[in-house]
Amino acid sequence: MKPAPFDYESPVTLDDALALLDRPGACPLAGGQSLIPNLSMRRTRPDLLVDLRRVPDLRSIETNAGTLRIGPMVTFAEAAASPEVRDACPLVIEAIRHVGSPAIRNRGTLAGNLVWADPASELPLVAVALGAVLTLRRRDGEREVAAADFLLGAFECAIRPGEIVTSIRFPVAGPGARASFAEVSPRRNAPALAAVAAQIEVVDGKVRAARIVVGGVHPVPLRLTAVEVALEDAGPGTDLPDLGASVAKRAVGSLPDAADYASAVVPPLVGRTIASILAAS
């Protein structure tokens, strides 16, 4: 099947891009990893495709004042190879290692992945776990949205007509923070059935702060706050991986919209990520 007819523009400035996107039926093109197949299958039918590849300054990666800023045209491969990302947010690197094939990582962008809001994608978990904030810009203004508020449901996000993501900002991990990412999929490069992203700050053997997020089993990534509190309140000598797994089992089992297999698959993943972090601490 071929795409439905559409017009194509390739602007060279952000202002021109935003002006084009202000037209009815306009759609931005970043990496195109998800958009292009959907165009071919006519699931998406824009009147105008606005290619952002020639717009300068959208592929930057920088750290400033305790924040890692990633531009909307940065690909998974570019982020994975970035010393700034590695040093500031190791959980991002951990997650990218699980993203599809090299072809997908070379083409797909982090911003596009968040906008697509696939429940099986890895980056949304990380964005929620780290408290990432997206800057959204359109012709008449700019706003910021936390990742947890941006992801509304399966393949549904809070972006409005005419808007594009101009940056994703992640808080830089503290010196005692360690990260781990684990997922289960039916075969290599297949979408994950379940995934867990974890970042834990351990000081003198005690969990000072924990962020545990599960994905793939629910329309949006979910923080397992009960697991986080249990880890932070645990006393000396507690088997933290076992504690996290047992609390996760109860938490996931109570979710009304969770997949049937969630309570069997998620707890071992939670235990595995916690054990991996403790081994590296």
Chain position carrying tokens 């990893």: 33
Span 91-144, pLDDT tens digits:
999 999 999 888 889 989 999 999 999 999 999 999 999 999 999 999 999 999
The answer on 164 and 94 residing in a single domain is yes
Verify that 138 and 219 share a domain, yes or no: no
Same domain (yes/no): 88, 116: yes
Say what the pTM is: 0.92
Residue 206 confidence (pLDDT): 87
Q: Is there a domain that residue 56 lies in?
A: no
My answer on whether 181 and 276 are in the same domain is yes
Establish if 96 belongs to a structural domain: yes
**Ramachandran quadrant class, 142 (left: phi over 0; alpha: psi -120 to 50; beta: rest):** beta
Residues shown for the chain:
281
Query: Tokens 């003198």 — which residue?
Result: 204
Q: Name the domain boundary from 116, 143, 171.
A: 171
Residue 46 and residue 67 share a domain: no
Same domain, yes or no, for 246 and 268?
A: yes
- Cα 23 to Cα 58: distance, rounded to the nearest angstrom: 21
Write out pLDDT tens, residues 34-46. 777 777 778 888 8
Same domain for 75 and 166, yes or no, is yes
Q: 1 in a domain, yes or no?
A: no
* 58-73 residue pLDDT tens: 999 999 999 999 999 9
Who's near 236: CB < 8 A, 6+ residues apart? 205, 206
How many folded domains does the chain comprise? Answer: 3
Question: What domain range includes position 275?
Answer: 177-280
Q: Which of 171, 200, 233 is the last residue of a domain?
A: 171
Residue 101 lies in a domain: yes
Which helix (DSSP H) or strand (DSSP E) does residue 95 occupy? helix 90-96
- Token pair recorded at residue 138: 């359109």
Residue that finishes a domain, picked among 171, 191, 212: 171
192 with 144, same domain?
no
132 and 32 inside one domain: no
CATH number, domain at 28? 3.30.43.10
Q: Are 21 and 164 in contact (CB under 8 A)?
A: yes
Each residue's pLDDT tens digit, 197-254: 999 998 887 899 999 999 999 999 999 999 999 999 998 889 999 999 999 999 988 8
Could you say which DSSP state residue 208 is in?
E
Q: Are 141 and 212 contained in the same domain?
A: no
Query: Does 2 map to a domain?
Result: no
Backbone phi and psi for residue 154, each to the nearest 5 degrees, phi listed first:
-65, 120
Residues 117 and 33 in one domain: no
C-alpha–C-alpha distance, residues 94 and 272, integer Å: 14
Looking at this protein, which amino acid is placed at residue 75? T
Token pair for 265: 């698959």
Asked if the structure places residue 240 within a domain, the reply is yes
164 and 183: one domain? no
